[in-house]
Amino acid sequence: MTDWAALVPLKQGVESKSRLREALEPAERMALASAMAARVMTCLSNVNAINSLYLLAPTEVSEWPSHWLPDSGRGLNPELESARAQLGNRPLLVIHADLPHLTVQDVQALLTAADDRGCAFAPDRHGRGTNAVALRDANPFRFAFGRDSLTPHRQQRPGAAIVERAALGFDIDTPADLAELHDMCAARLKS
Ligand SMILES: Nc1nc2c(ncn2[C@@H]2O[C@H](COP(=O)(O)OP(=O)(O)OP(=O)(O)O)[C@@H](O)[C@H]2O)c(=O)[nH]1
Ligand SMILES: C[C@H](OP(=O)(O)O)C(=O)O
């Protein structure tokens, strides 16, 4: 069984979740981002295959069960590349902090697929973005997060597993995503 490290990048401050500006006040956006990230960190800390957990962020969050890698402001992809190198290009899961329904089983499924195929991607539910990348090998990889990152990610690892699970694909970016989350929570409360 591979000894995985997990790395969660987190934007903090008033720029967090900027696409939710129309729906939420800055304090609400920050609180939402932080609550989702706490859920993701707790989930990852309960995955047996993950040996160490890192938070890549401008500021440390001491109550989370993770090591802090300071973000020096070069942008998400260069920061991730530098963090991967800093961790010795060891088997690494990079997973976004905005996955409110993520479970231990989702992460285990992703890592099992990456153990098998060398690399695994979790697409967003629109099939365009990438919510998680699991890289077992130490070969170069250019993170291409931004819009429509799945294609440039797949081009670099044509043999990679594509792991499609509801919670891995459900990230919160837009007011429509937020409305979907709200409806799901309301439906759960009713049942
Ligand atoms: N450390 C770090 N994390 C980032 C940065 N940009 C985005 N992230 C994180 O990367 C993941 C995916 O980010 P996005 O959905 O693109 O950005 P976001 O801040 O969550 O939302 P928007 O501002 O609406 O794009 C989330 O976990 C973000 O918190 C960055 O520059 N540095
Ligand atoms: C970072 C981006 O994800 P989004 O937050 O736009 O879903 C991506 O998938 O590359």
Residue nearest to atom 4 of ligand 2 (CA): 129
> Taking 90 as the threshold, does the pLDDT of residue 191 lie above it?
no
Number of domains in the chain: 1
Region 125-146 average pLDDT: 97
Type of residue found at 150: L
* Residue of 11, 40, 80, 173 to test ligand 1 pocket, by largest number of atoms within 8 Å of CB: 11
Give the domain extent around 23.
4-190
Q: b/e for 63-89, b at 16 or more Cβ within 10 A?
A: ebebeebebeeeebeebbeebbeebee
Q: What CATH number is associated with residue 99? A: 3.90.550.10
Give pLDDT tens digits for 31-59.
999 999 999 999 999 999 999 999 999 99
Q: What is the ipTM of this complex?
A: 0.96
Region 130-136 average pLDDT: 98
**Ligand 1 centroid distance, CA of 10 (Å):** 6
